[in-house]
Amino acid sequence: MGEATQVTDQMLAKFGSSGSLEELKEERISLNLARGRIYDILSHGFSYPWNRKFFRPKSLLEPMDVVLLGEEDWKSLKGIVDGYANYLPSMTIKQVQSEYINVFGHAVSMECPPYEMQYGTEGGIQSQTDVLIQLGGFYETFGFEMPRNRSKERVDHISNELAFMSYMCFRMAYGVQNDHDERKIGVLQSGMKKFIRNHVGRWLPLFCIFAARKAERGLYRDLVEILALFIKNEVGLLDVKPVTVEEPEYRSMSYSMENDLIANAPAECEPRS
């Protein structure tokens, strides 16, 4: 009989690391803690900025150094983070809040909505409300509770989806550290892969394009560039192939939504002759 195939960590294999799961234990913990930290930082960054602690760019450098697969991506990230020093320290919290509102709006901005439900039904989603049902299913299945300071946002808000991924990464790191059954850890990883394929990897690339176009420059333009870089890295790291939303599909869907709103508007909203 031949030797049994050694089980190794597929994410660490992307970095060239090999060995048994036990031999790679510390690296597995480090990688998932770093991923969780980045998702958490970005989740806060895309939440409404109530105070100056909402986003600290330099806090990304250490975990990104652990997770990025490409040297060019690291150079790009370093350039963006260093660039924040040119303007972020001099911005007041009121200016930051004003910029957030300008890009994302008080209500749902049709230019770059931070809600997944606005991005159509590609990727196996049957309807817009199906997005909310699927997300609720993920959150309930894995025991995720939305952060208190973001609980007023819908389940499909970018900050909540990123917070869920942070939670999953931290759970995986905890499972590895405490020698949980690898089958249970595998369930967590499968859940993350499915969530990236069907959700964050599906709509966030187009969201980043729209938000960068709307912001033009400054705080949120730089932040979405970091998000786009990280999501691309996650797709490669977990070896998933999301069904991404394309701009023509989004525009067609937006027009349909607008027509529905007009068609179902109450009589008192109709223009007077």
Domain residue extents for the chain: 16-108+137-256
pLDDT of residue 204: 96
CATH code for residues 16-108+137-256: 1.10.3480
Q: What is the mean pLDDT of residues 13-40?
A: 97
Mean pLDDT of the chain: 86
pLDDT digits (tens, 9 = 90+) for 112-145: 899 998 887 655 555 677 889 999 999 999 999 9
pLDDT at 83 over 90: yes
Task: Tell me the C-alpha distance between 116 and 1, whole Å.
Answer: 51
Q: Among 92-96, 120-124, 263-267, which range has the highest average pLDDT? A: 92-96
